Structure 1
Amino acid sequence: MFSTFPYKAIKYQFSSDLPLITLTGIGFQNITDHSYSWHNLHRHDKHCLIQYCISGQGVLTINNSTYTITAGKAFLLNIPSNSHYYLPQNSTHWKFIYLEFSPEVLPLLCKIYNKLGPVISLANYPSLLTQIANFYTKALNNKLQSVFINTKLAYNFWIDLLKYNLAYDANNLTKTDIAKNFLEQNFANSNLNIDTIAEQIGYSKYHLCKTFHKQFGISPMKYLQNLRISTACKLLINNPTWTIKKIAHHVGYNNDDYFCKVFKNLKGITPNTFRKQSIHYDTLQTIYDFSATKKNTLM
């Protein structure tokens, strides 16, 4: 499907008063130089990226989790974020097609990310691959410069991608998926511990920790900690009259001093400082950070 395409990168920039999802960039590349490396934490070009591997392999790291991207797989990423993707030394090449979308797509990306994580397989969804090829063909023929045509195709693609997401139903849930859901529903319980979680799904705590880390790239208790702090961030921004003690209790910490210590270890600043800076905080980024923690740290 992609074999006859020329290697090229194309950018778009639209001016509109409407918060529309648009394709802002697309490209087809075959990387053989091992200096190829994108560190995304301090990038200034805000966008959402989908990068689909055609052959070879690349590596994506998000915080402390590492993913190998092989043929048929794609990764979803919000930029800027604490992530890095590159051509590893053990790979001779990485051929891929990438799509960059405007930040307005972030809530949809988060919904998929929250359920499937940053890496998805598209090999069994030829209709999505056809749409990606169609994007590139139209880009090569200068047919995506109209904001209305561009937006219509972008929305169609993301709606179909959501359908793919919803197809990943409860029948595919593993016991570690169930453990993750249990954590998300009970994180405010200050008595929650690894023994309780393991008992809930019928695993030993050793086996739970091993399988949870293998599937999600993070331990259950670290995931719980990140989930609590991410929720606290939202509460600090959206509830300016709540005391730090009230927020700590609301996310599962009986001791607000310990909560402040954990918060500073993860965020680098105290809850009070975070609240004072919240006037400059990007709300969409907050949503992304919360969803990201549900998989790795995570985004």
Structure 2
Amino acid sequence: MFPLSHQSIGFNFSSELALLALKGIGLQYVDSPAYSWDNRNRTDSHCILQYCLDGEGALEVEGITYPVRKDDAFLIDIPGPNHYYLPQGSDHWEFIYLEFTKECLPLIWKIHRAAGPVISFGADPSFLERILDIYHLALQDTLHSYFENSRVAYDLWMRMAEYVMSASAGEVSKADHAKTYMDQHYNQSDLSLDEIADQVGMSKYTLCKEFHKKYGVTPGRYLKELRISQSCRLLMTKTDYTLQEIAEMVGFANNNYFGKVFKAEKGITPDKYRNQAGKYDLVRAVYETPHF
């Protein structure tokens, strides 16, 4: 049995600022099959990090089921297409959960892309130690300031993102190979799922399942996002290129289709997106990692 008392603590904010903040934290032990949270129709709104201390739980996301064992944690958005519960074959599940404001959504999406919704922290005991520190702070009522609460929340998310990005960089799966292949060949308009699956030695069905499990999106969705992202970079930095040329450079067969997809993704046409950069004398492309 975990030595800490099983309690839950919530936080009320009185601020006009919209910061990533901790909304609640709790330590819980469940041993009943009735424990089940289907989040598709929930009315509350937050993001949750749930860390398994003992036993085993399960998380289902868009038809894919993930076991959640000791030192695993899952990250989800509520409401959302997910469901967590005590599965058959597990007699208990002990965990600590943290609820956050929706400002953490971009980080959740980034982490899902890199590692999926369930992360193993067995190689980093300091992460659990930090969560327990936060639990103690909440129990002792020392997070009085909204800014202090937010600072603690941001610190935890930065630690988590850094851990996931570092760990995922050293693990190469067939899904990773598929992503790399798309990163290298996205400019080919005839690039197909059949070709990608063949390159990594998987069936299309298995590729879609494994890719979604690893990155949180289908290969087709990832390819579309990649092409639009690259087109945004070119629209800002290659102002002498026509829209047709940019469309072809990122893998769209024609400018009309490119325009429709771009507007559906960004809410504006490629022309308007390019004109946004016109108010500056110089436009610099900023990359997530060093770009030479």
TM above 0.5: yes
CA distance in 2, matches of 1:233, 1:35: 44
Contact 1:55 1:94 survives alignment (8 Å):
yes
| 8 Å CA contact 1:228, 1:251 repeated in 2 | no
C-alpha deviation, 1:20, in angstroms: 1.4
Counterpart position of 2:209: 213
Pair 133,16 (structure 1): closer, same or farther in 2 beyond 3 Å = same
Structure 2: which amino acid aligns with 1:119? V
8 Å contact kept, 2:193–2:220:
no
1:198: how far off?
A: 3.9
Instruction: Give the conservation status (yes or no) of the 8 Å contact 2:121–2:127.
Output: yes
Greater C-alpha Rg = 2
Which residue in 2 is equivalent to 1:102? Answer: 101
Which letter does structure 2 place at the counterpart of 1:224?
P
- Unaligned 5+ segments in structure 2 are 230-246, 268-292
Contact kept in structure 2, 1:20 and 1:104, CA below 8 Å = yes
Instruction: Write the mapping of 1:87-236 to structure 2, written as runs, cut at 5 A.
Output: 87-183=86-182, 186=185, 189-201=188-200, 203=201, 205-206=202-203, 209-210=205-206, 213-214=209-210, 216-217=212-213, 223-227=218-222
CA distance in 2, matches of 1:193, 1:126: 42
Provide the C-alpha distance between the structure 2 equivalents of 1:80 and 1:233, rounded to a whole number of angstroms.
Answer: 27
Tell me which residue corresponds to 2:14.
15
Query: TM-score, normalised on structure 2?
Result: 0.71
CA distance in 1 between partners of 2:172 and 2:226 (Å):
24
CA offsets, 1:96-120, max 9 Å, x none?
0000111111112222111011000
1:169–1:129 distance in 2 versus 1, CA, 3 Å: same
Q: Aligned-pair distance for 1:71?
A: 0.9
Alpha-carbon distance in 2 for matches of 1:211, 1:90: 29
Post-superposition offset of 1:196: 2.1
Provide the secondary structure at the position in 1 that maps to 2:42: coil
Identity %: 36
Specify the alignment match of 2:25 in structure 1.
26
CA distance in structure 1 between the aligned counterparts of 2:251 and 2:144, rounded to whole angstroms: 46
Q: Distance in 2 between matches of 1:130 and 1:80?
A: 28
**Higher RCO, 1 vs 2 (CA within 8 Å, ≥6 residues apart):** 1
Matched, 1:38 2:37: yes
**Number of the residue aligned with 1:55:** 54
Amino acid at match of 1:196: E
CA deviations over 1:139-184 (Å, ceiling 9, x no partner): 1111123212211211111111122022125432223212024336
Computed over aligned residues only, the root mean square deviation of the Cα atoms, in angstroms, reads 3.7
| CA displacement at 1:230 relative to structure 2 | 7.0
Specify whether residues 232 and 175 from structure 1 end up closer, same or farther in structure 2 by C-alpha distance, changes over 3 A only. closer
The verdict on how the C-alpha distance between 1:109 and 1:210 changes in structure 2, with shifts beyond 3 A counting, is closer
Contact in 2 for aligned 1:55/1:70 (Cα 8 Å): yes
Task: Mark the CA change 1:31 to 1:233 in structure 2 (over 3 Å): closer, same or farther.
Answer: farther
Query: What amino acid is the match of 1:113?
Result: H
Matched letter for residue 40 of structure 1: N
Provide Cα deviations, 1:83-133, integer angstroms capped at 9, x if missing partner. 111111221111100001111111122221110110001121111111100
- In the superposition, relative to structure 1, how do residues 155 and 48 fare at CA in structure 2: closer, same or farther (>3 Å)? same
For this pair of structures, how many residues does the alignment match? 250
Classify 1:35/1:217 alpha carbon distance in 2 versus 1 (closer, same or farther; 3 Å).
Answer: same
| Amino acid of the structure 2 residue aligned with 1:58 | G
Q: Please report how far the alpha carbon of residue 190 of structure 1 lies from its aligned counterpart in structure 2 after TM superposition.
A: 4.2
